[in-house]
A and B are shown apart, each in its own frame.
Chain A
Amino acid sequence: MINIKTNNILFWIKNNLFNDLKGSILTVIGLYIAILIFFGLFKFIFINADWEVVIVNFRLLILGRFPIGQEWRLIPSLILSCILIGMSISIWSKLNLIKIILLILILYIIFAVFLSGFASLIIGIAIISGCLAYVLSNSYVLFKIKLNLLKKITIYGWILLLPLTLILLNINGGVGTERWGGVFLNIMLAAIGISGGIIFGPLLALGRNSNFKSIKYPCIAYIEFIRAAPLIGWLFLARFVLPTLLPSLFELNKIDIVIRAMIVLVGFSSAYIAEIVRGGLQSLPKGQREAGMALGLNEFNITWFIIIPQAIRAVIPALVSQFIALWKDTTLVYALSLTELLGAANAAVAQPDFVGKQIEVFLFIAVIFWAFSYIMSRISSKMETRLGLGKW
């Protein structure tokens, strides 16, 4: 038995690593490089690196200059998002138990290392509530709830998450946008950019496909104009020119630079999402619209119930990759000297106590950015296989 197994492994190694002379040379070179990089990283992370700079500046990196004592505003959203993540995993994904336990352990260890006392307690509560939500919604049959209802609850929860966060941030005095920072600011910018893009992008796409020239050409002009210049240009424009263009009504011309960045991100992402959705609209056969007309539906019903769902469904992978791009683009507000994650990292590096500790900080923030985009891209590829896209 053992003999056969070793034979199999040897066979596999011979087939996949040393199948001929060139392959063997490549393997040896590749192995050398891989070992070099791996041990270099290992040595750096566990021996040479001084992670104190990250531990000391952890709050700066996560929350920026968020006022101390106001963190309670974020706790409900944090717990709700953990619950929603747990429910979503149980409904749409089949993770096995070992994977889940590993995930939670990794998350908790990371936060326990960097956080202390109260904050780590909150994170613990959030993670535990997420696990509870996972277990409860996994056994939804016991509560006599239909799966569709559960799905509906989860989707409405995700939709309500952003308004809830915004309300919590604004009631009872509130925390001004100028105090937002760190990863929190990145997440808020990305969330607002994505939700705004989802609302305005399809509208622009429909406008571009419209029969009315008075709607079609302005939409084309807007989309092409926005796509012509890089995002950083629009951000600079928002910084220097936008205040002079806005009316002085309600002090609109004195709005905070974070809100201006949000406006720009929404406008930018809606132009790009419009182009993606237009591709979906074009992929629909003409018969769909005609069938709707034959049923006697009016224009609004045809668009809302027949065209939009199918068009969006066809372009979900492209949409998610646009979301990932937007998440990565939120770093650009650093050019407006905001303390989002990259700005906070630069502020941490600039402290006189931590001269020459740039690599640690930048590795840390790169891992945070990477983790979010990687999770999103995994979700996208899972959705692609689940929806069976590219098969029809």
Chain B
Amino acid sequence: MYKKLSLYISWITKTNRRRKYTINTSSISFLLIFTIYLSIRLSTLELDFNFLSQPAGFSMLNQWLTDYQSSDSRIIAYLTASFNTIRLVIIAIIFSTLIGLIIGISRLSSNWLISKMALIYINIFRNTPLLVQIVFWYIAIFLNFPNISEGKNISELIFISNRGLVIPWFNIKSQLLWIFIFGEIILITVSFLLRSFINNINNNKETKYPENILSIVFFIICSFILLFLTNISFTLDLPTLTSQGPNIFNYNGGLLMTPEFCAVLLGLSVYTGSFIAEIVRGSIQALPKGQTEAAMSVGLSNYQRLTLIILPQALRIMIPSITNQYLNVTKNSSLAVVIGYSELFLVSGIIINKAGHAVPMYFMIIVTYQCISWIISIGMNYLNKRVQLIDN
């Protein structure tokens, strides 16, 4: 049978020209038919984006920096959901990197107990599905905390109950908060430009200006000016438990982290942390052993050896794989939909239920995820280049 098949294929591919025509014609005609079919099918669906400007009509729990009412338009609801996702991703990335670094380094510790504990941690959390972990943290742990009236409080500052975790937070009050944030972003870009500008000047001169210090000083001074101009006041916001009648309790002030957010954050950071730990271990082991020995013979302490010799070199190897893990965090944050954290998929699902228009909504979701991934990979590629440059 194989011989016959090979014979047919060799007839088609006997001359280059025949092969080229056969393949091109067949694939293009297939694509054409597929596109025509898809467009006929899609034409029966609603494909415009007008529905997004109508009022949303559903409520979401506002968390840090979001201010959403059910009378806002659907596009505002969607943007709030994207912001929820981005916030979750950023915090999860920070925590997972910390966990990964600590576990990965302790995996290589000369202390037998510590290294074995790290190994057990990695084996357990790497091999269990993330969704199971998230649902476990949510249903078995965070929803099992006591009621709000009997909730635990740690030294009157941190409150824990099944309604979430409340911690003290800064209260930022200003009409011009968004202008301030926008101005800060511009300032950061300007100070980076300034730094490269000073670098250019330094290249041609004997006496060199300290470009890092100059740009940081510039940034700090300009930030203070911006702070005074936009008239922003920071006050410490302590949480309190207030009762509005019998059995009606509420948290006032502070930063409320809902159980959904806590469960997803914990699951994501612990799961991704175990992967990053393996990457850290692998990239440290990939270094020649002479590096460690040389650092020891120079007389550096354990801490100095790690931060000055090993990690900077290991970073070069680990950054591409860690970028991959960060992109995975972005995609995996969508699992929060299962336990009802108001992220992209949940809010889009509600909008689809209310207004239809599934195809444009999914298109928007894919574009949003792609944008977040692009931002992460651009940032990490920049970091990668920087790390490579230090070596040269």
Contacts and interface: CB of A to CB of B under 8 A. Distances in A.
A343 B132 CA distance: 10
Interface residues of B, number: 55
A253 B136 CA distance: 35
A19 B332 CA distance: 41
B114 A27 contact: yes
Interface in B340-373: 345, 349, 352, 358-359, 362, 365-366, 369-370, 373
B335 A232 contact: yes
A373 B132 contact: no
Contact of A233 (B45, B133, B359, B366): B366
A241 B114 contact: no
B252 interface: no
A13 to B, nearest CB: 9
Given A298-B13, A301-B6, A229 B366 contact: yes
Contacts of A111: none
Nearest to B5: A300
Nearest to B302: A22
Contact of A212 (B27, B42, B113, B124): B27
A237 interface: yes
B207 interface: no
Interface string A303-346: 00000000000000000000010001101101100000010001
B31 A218 contact: yes
A366 B267 CA distance: 13
Contacts, number: 145
Contacts of B124: 370
A358 B143 CA distance: 11
Nearest to A324: B127
A358 B23 contact: no
A387 interface: no
A233 B345 contact: yes
B131 A331 contact: yes
B362 A300 contact: no
A240 B352 contact: yes
Interface of A: 16-17, 19, 22-23, 26-27, 30-31, 33-34, 212, 214-215, 218, 225, 228-233, 236-237, 240-241, 244-245, 298-301, 324, 328-329, 331-332, 334-335, 342, 346, 349, 356, 358-359, 362, 365-366, 369-370, 373-374, 377
The list of the 4 closest CB pairs from A to B, nearest first, reads A373-B127, A230-B331, A16-B112, A328-B129
25 contacts: A17-B111, A19-B110, A33-B117, A212-B24, A214-B31, A215-B27, A228-B366, A228-B370, A229-B370, A230-B332, A232-B334, A232-B345, A328-B130, A335-B338, A342-B135, A346-B135, A358-B140, A362-B132, A362-B139, A362-B140, A366-B133, A370-B128, A373-B127, A377-B126, A377-B127
Given A212-B23, A240-B358, 10 more contacts: A16-B110, A23-B111, A30-B117, A212-B27, A215-B27, A230-B332, A230-B334, A245-B41, A366-B128, A373-B126
